[in-house]
Amino acid sequence: MNRKMKKILCVVILTVFASTAAAVFAADPETKDPEKVLARVEGQEIKEKDVDQFMIAAGPQVAMMYDNEQGRKIILDELVAGRLLAISGKKQRLDDTPEFKEALENFTANFLIRATIEEIVKDVTASDEDCKKFYDENLNEFATPDEIRASHILLPDDEARAAKIALIQGELEKGVSFDVLAAEHSIDPSAQQNGGDLGFFSRGQMVPEFEEAAFALKEPGDISDPVKSDFGWHIIKLEEKKPSGVMPYDDVKLQLEQYLSNEKKTQKYQDELEALRKEYKIEILD
């Protein structure tokens, strides 16, 4: 057995065995024969699913390290050790101490809370009709603003600026590609990556001077006069315009279903909790 892996797992063991029932609610549907018995300790069975649940509770990093033949054998060995310790603790009547009984009571309460909440909301979903109704009644929530896609050549505000601008404008008039000139002259990192293309943006995302000049361009292919901002001097080319509109229902349906399902589950939980407050006696003590 790899001693380093063993040492790492021992730290995890203490965490997992001290944790709540979270792993009990998790199950790996991909597990092959989860009921296969891998070991018995004083007649107590350890199954394939116990190894899987241990890895789920321990977290994804442990799963990556131990989800292999050697790793699963190490985990099985530690599960056997855990059963041995539990048997020893019971023999010493450690389960009869006040501390143990309090911990067990808290564990049971937490388990019941989780199970009850899952039972309350298990059948709560948002229908397609719910989603479509919300969409139709809240179209403003799905509005998209005017957007443009633009490229720019950014020049430093120095003594050579005027000559550099004149050179670039002359090259553009000769038909030299804007992205080629951006790669050659622009000091913006976007120039080397994608010819100065800044992608789509809406109003309020760029500095005011740049935004005003960019949105003033009328047709794709139009190029602005030089415009100064705090970053330097920009020559801007309009690449594409995307007018304001409303996102199609099909594009937002899945997000709506998740959002409305969560809203309905929250409401169902609150309603159930309110009913329980009326059913059972509550005393808030000072």
Q: What is the average per-residue pLDDT within 21-40?
A: 65
- What is the C-alpha to C-alpha distance for residues 286 and 282, in angstroms, rounded to an integer? 13
Q: Which residues contact 92 (CB under 8 A, 6 or more apart)?
A: none
For residue 214, what are its two tokens? 């960019």
Q: Which fold has domain 146-243?
A: Chitinase A; domain 3 (3.10.50)
The pLDDT > 70 percentage for the chain reads 89
Q: What is the average per-residue pLDDT within 245-255?
A: 95
Query: By three-state DSSP, how is residue 140 classified?
Result: helix
Q: What is the average per-residue pLDDT within 141-149?
A: 94
The alpha carbon of residue 26 and the mean position of all alpha carbons in its chain are separated, in whole angstroms, by 19
Q: Would you state the pLDDT for residue 101?
A: 95
Contact 150, 223 (CB under 8 A): no
The pLDDT of residue 229 is above 50: yes
Contact 53, 24 (CB under 8 A): yes
Write down the pTM of the prediction.
Answer: 0.57
The pLDDT of residue 237 is above 60: yes
The alpha carbon of residue 200 and the mean position of all alpha carbons in its chain are separated, in whole angstroms, by 24
Contact 80, 41 (CB under 8 A): yes
Q: Would you state the pLDDT for residue 30?
A: 53
Q: Would you state the pLDDT for residue 24?
A: 40
Q: List the domain boundaries for the chain.
A: 3-91, 146-243
pLDDT digits (tens, 9 = 90+) for 154-169: 999 999 999 999 999 9
